[in-house]
């Protein structure tokens, strides 16, 4: 386990309410080639912080890369709604682009 991952886990265990800490943990797991753990971390992030838009794109991209189109849609479609609610046109466009690549 990387030092960064240990740090994120400690912050979460201490009760962090910063969505970026949860996001960074998921991204660190992704970077360490632990896709299932990363997807689980993204799912936890989505549950705790549904308005945190970056979650949806990164999780959707990862699921799509793994050939899990249904799971990718399960992240990307609500992500479109979250991006629209946040007024984040750039994220909305990126989410739509990934969705359009799914079989």
At the second CATH level, the architecture of 3-101 is: Alpha Horseshoe (1.25)
Per-residue pLDDT of the chain in tens (103 residues, 90 and over written 9)? 899 999 999 999 999 999 999 999 999 999 999 999 999 999 999 999 999 999 999 999 999 999 999 999 999 999 999 999 999 999 999 999 999 999 7
Q: Are 22 and 44 in contact (CB under 8 A)?
A: yes
Angle between helices 54-65 and 19-31 (to 10 degrees): 20
Q: What is the pTM of this model?
A: 0.93
Separation of alpha carbons 77 and 59, rounded Å? 12
Find tokens 């998921």 and name the residue: 26
């Amino acid at each position: 386990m990387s030092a960064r991952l240990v740090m994120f886990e400690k912050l979460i265990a201490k009760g962090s309410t910063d969505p970026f800490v949860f996001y960074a943990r998921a991204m660190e797991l992704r970077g360490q080639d632990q896709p299932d753990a990363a997807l689980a971390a993204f799912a936890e992030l989505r549950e705790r912080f549904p308005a945190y838009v970056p979650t949806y794109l990164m999780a959707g991209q990862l699921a799509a890369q793994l050939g899990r189109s249904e799971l990718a849609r399960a992240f990307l479609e609500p992500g479109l709604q979250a991006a629209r609610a946040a007024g984040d046109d750039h994220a909305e466009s990126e989410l739509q682009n990934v969705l359009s690549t799914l079989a």
